[in-house]
């Protein structure tokens, strides 16, 4: 009977990940990072560390509750780091981690694609609605 090391078991699990399977952890991760506010938050942090209020001003329409939840989930997933500087008032900065930077490039591309092709999407919607 052959035994496997922990590293071999992790590698085997990595090969078996399939985001199309609901129970797979990658399915949950794809769901989280594809949320609108997660995508925009990652894009907002590309220029560098930012305070909560700066992020909030950049992302018009996000509620404080949703921004807080989004930042916490991104921090939990290791995509964003939170640094508290003791001062009066306390200063809190958010910054992309190396892992977050690797993902933010993709998210910034999605944001750019949406900004570039929105007119084509509007035209397609109008054609579809006219035919329906």
Within a domain: 95: yes
Its domain, for residue 46, covers 34-131
Fill in the DSSP letter of residue 87: S
Within a domain: 14: no
Within a domain: 107: yes
**How confident is the model at residue 13, as a pLDDT?**
66
| Distance between CA atoms of residues 48 and 96, nearest Å | 7
| pLDDT > 70 in the chain, percent | 95
**How confident is the model at residue 41, as a pLDDT?**
94
**How confident is the model at residue 1, as a pLDDT?**
55
Task: Give the number of domains in the chain.
Answer: 1
Q: Is the pLDDT of residue 10 over 80?
A: no
Kindly report the CATH number assigned to the domain that includes residue 124. 1.10.10.10
Buried b (16+ CB within 10 A) or exposed e, 23-40: eeeeeeeeeebeeebbbb
Q: DSSP strand E in 25-117: where?
A: 50-51, 80-85, 91-96
As a whole number of Å, the end-to-end CA separation of the chain is 63
- Average pLDDT in the 100-124 region? 93
**pLDDT, tens only, 32-86:** 999 999 999 999 999 999 999 999 999 989 999 999 999 999 999 999 999 999 8
| Distance between CA atoms of residues 44 and 46, nearest Å | 6
| pLDDT > 90 in the chain, percent | 60
């Amino acid at each position: 009977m052959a035994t496997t090391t922990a590293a071999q078991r992790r590698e085997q699990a990595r090969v078996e990940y399939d985001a199309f399977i609901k129970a797979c952890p990658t399915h949950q991760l794809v769901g989280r990072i594809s949320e609108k506010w997660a995508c925009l938050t990652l894009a907002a942090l590309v220029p560098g560390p930012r305070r909560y209020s700066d992020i909030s001003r950049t992302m018009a329409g996000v509620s404080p509750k949703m921004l807080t939840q989004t930042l916490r989930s991104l921090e939990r997933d290791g995509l964003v780091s939170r640094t508290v500087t003791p001062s009066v008032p306390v200063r809190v900065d958010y910054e992309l981690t190396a892992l977050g930077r690797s993902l933010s490039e993709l998210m910034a591309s999605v944001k750019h694609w949406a900004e570039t092709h929105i007119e084509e999407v509007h035209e397609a919607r109008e054609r579809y609605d006219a035919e329906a």
